[in-house]
Amino acid sequence: MYNWKEKRNKKAFLALADGTVFPAWSFGAETDRLGEVVFNTGTGYQEILTDPSYAGQIVTLTAPEIGNTGFNTADFESIKLHAEGLIVHNYNDASSWRAEQSLQDALIKADIPALAGIDTRALTIILRNSGTLKGYICASGDISHEEGVKRAREWEGLDGQDYASKVSTKELYTFDPEGIMSASWGLTEEPLPKADIPIVVYDFGIKFNILRRLRQQGMNLTIVPAQTPADEVLAMKPAGVFLSNGPADPSAVGYAIENIKQLVGKTPIMGICLGHQLLGWALGGKTCRLKFGHHGCNHPVKELATDKVEITSQNHNFMVDMDSLDKSIVEVTHINLNDNTVEGMRHKTEPAFSVQYHPEAAPGPHDSLYLFAQFKELIQKA
């Protein structure tokens, strides 16, 4: 931790493109970074920072006290930290028996800046009222507030940017062939089923826990780079194809949309988050930007067929435009109860469905885990 003089001087700051500046003290890497500033109502900062979907984003946590649980190898969602920066109200050193290192040490090792001492309530209200803003973290203290605002305004932002290819695997690989990562961690005594269902997973920014949940359904997972052609995927003779989550703007990932068009009707398909949005494009729909996105683990989603409400974990700034979907071939299956946006859809005649939220994340309850079993059933029927 830094001494009281460092905290009091607040030489670091967050500059927003609207001209707002928040003085702060740095507890991460002493580096400066640009990003899209969002707020997240969850507390799982390790899962957030290691989720590739947060590439390009500076995450503001609305919970006031952050850091107590530290960092550990079991809770990584990918091999590294992807967020551009972290904003908190108050940072605490690790005090959990599970902690293997502090949040501060993890951030410094990953060269990611983080700021504390900010009124995150005020910042969240700004983002809620004006919408997501471009921002500049100055952790070094080497530039003026005015220059920070200027750099935030001049940044190209995430619209029209393909970040999926930046975070995707560069080479094909098989996930967890020994079944070690997919164990239940004591939640059940049942062993993993035999991995005898061959699935190809498009990696647009895949999370480990999605792969674990698929493996727990008996799926043998081959992970391929985001730009893998559809004919190469079909040549692997998969029983199904999974479209992963990922960062930034789906309209910029045109190669994936074209590949998905070629896969629809030829193999069962399931998509999550960015994969859901890309499937929407492939089925003739479009996506548009939400005002401040959905980021957190308390979003209510209703399944229309049953009226069942699920409490879900979400992270996305874009959504499938309901009015753009061809209702003769696409059925909306889930809606967000906060704003009535599309949270799930399925093809009416072909084995393909997707959800916007993260059923693997289990934000307390396990409301949405049935979707992975649903994918398995779709494959078996096909």
Catalytically annotated residues: 273, 358, 360
Residue type, 335: I
Distance CA 215, CA 192 (A): 8
DSSP secondary-structure letter at 324?
G
Q: Is residue 52 within 8 Å of 247, Cβ to Cβ?
A: yes
The bridge status of strand 308-320 relative to strand 287-303 is antiparallel
Which helix (H) or strand (E) covers residue 152, if one does?
A: helix 145-154
Distance CA 157, CA 136 (A): 11
CA nearest to 66, candidates 86, 42, 47, 92:
92
- 240 - beta bridge partners? 199
Distance CA 347, CA 332 (A): 9
Query: With the C-alpha atoms ordered 331, 337, 338, 340, is the resulting torsion angle positive or negative?
Result: positive
Q: Quick count: other Cβ atoms within 10 Å of Cβ 173?
A: 14
Query: With the C-alpha atoms ordered 165, 170, 171, 174, is the resulting torsion angle positive or negative?
Result: negative
- 272 - beta bridge partners? 355
| Cα 356-274-369 angle, rounded to 5 deg | 45
SS3 (DSSP) at 279: helix
Dihedrals φ, ψ of 180, to 5°? -75, -45
131: Cα separation from own chain's centroid: 19
